[in-house]
Amino acid sequence: MAGAIFQDLQRLDIRAGTVLRCERFPEARKPAYKLWIDFGPDVGEKRSSAQLTDFYEPEELVGRQVLGVVNFPSRQIGPFVSEVLTLGVYVEDGKVVLIAPDRRVPDGSMFG
C-alpha cells in the first residue's frame, strides 16, 4: 500500500517557483488571487488561481516562493486559465496557508 502511494506521489511534478505578479480575482466564485509564477527555465512562467485571500495580500505574495503542481491539466476558472495548482493546507474554516520552501531555492527545483 505505501509503495503504491509513493508511486502516485512520484507522478506529480511539484516544483518551486517565485510569484512574479498577483492580482485580485473578483470574477472567481470564492475569493481568490490570480498568480503569475516563474518555475524556472524548464517550465517557465505559469498562471494559477489560488484562494489565499484570508492570510495574504497581493503585494506580500510578489517575490515569495511557492510550491506548485505543474503537470496537471489547465482549468478554466471564469475568464482565467489556471495552469498550475499552487499548494497550501486548509486550516480553520477552510482558510488556506501556503506550502513553501523554508529557504530560497532555484526556481524550478523539484520536490523529492
Its pTM stands at 0.91
Given a cut of 70, whether residue 2 has pLDDT beyond it is no
Q: What is the second-level CATH architecture of the domain 2-98? A: Beta Barrel (2.40)
Rounded to whole angstroms, what are the CA distances from 4 to 7, 10, 104?
A: 5, 10, 31
- Phi-psi label, residue 108: left if phi above 0, alpha if psi -120 to 50, beta otherwise: left
User: What is the model's pLDDT at position 1?
Assistant: 56
Nearest to 46, CA basis, from 28, 73, 79? 73
**What pLDDT, in 10s, does the model give residues 41-99?**
999 999 999 999 999 999 999 999 999 999 999 999 999 999 999 999 999 888 999 99
